[in-house]
Amino acid sequence: MSTIQAAMAQLLPAERQAREGRALLSLNASISRTLLTIEPECQLAHQLRLIQTKIRRHILTTLVEEDTADTTEGTAQGPSQHETSLRDVLSHPDTSLPSIEQELHYDPAIVS
């Protein structure tokens, strides 16, 4: 086990989950930047988009699980009328999300 893995194992679950989330967001941002610099139709770009989808699904699943746990705790204390469920805000984890190129209205012909 590496030193980093040993240190992560000693963290509280919430701290470990927060660090994992930040690392995944950082990785997702790096992949997005990489996708802007490589040929959009190449095999690597395809694989990176698949990895991005998996990262997004993992993050959304984690958020929904947290929301479900919070809702169960909130139900025991009585629901708040001001609470908004993540399920009301986020799409289903299997929903196709736009790639960074679509989000930025990226056109490879213009960039070339």
Per-residue pLDDT of the chain (112 residues; tens, 9 = 90+): 678 778 777 878 888 888 888 999 999 999 999 999 999 999 999 999 999 999 999 988 888 887 777 666 655 555 555 555 555 555 555 565 566 555 555 555 555 4
Q: Helices in the chain by DSSP H: which ranges? A: 3-10, 13-37, 43-77, 86-89, 100-103, 108-111
8 inside domain: no
* Spatial separation of the C-alpha atoms in residues 80 and 4, rounded to whole Å: 40
5 inside domain: no
The count of structural domains within the chain is: 1
Contacts of 52 (CB under 8 A, 6+ apart): 28, 31, 32, 35, 99, 100
Report pTM: 0.54
Distance (Å, rounded) from C-alpha 14 to C-alpha 12?
A: 6
**Any domain includes 72:** yes
Residue 46 lies in a domain: yes
For residue 53, tell me if it sits in a domain: yes
Q: Which domain holds residue 25?
A: 14-76+85-111
Assess if residue 20 is contained within a domain.
Answer: yes
Does residue 1 belong to any structural domain of this protein? no
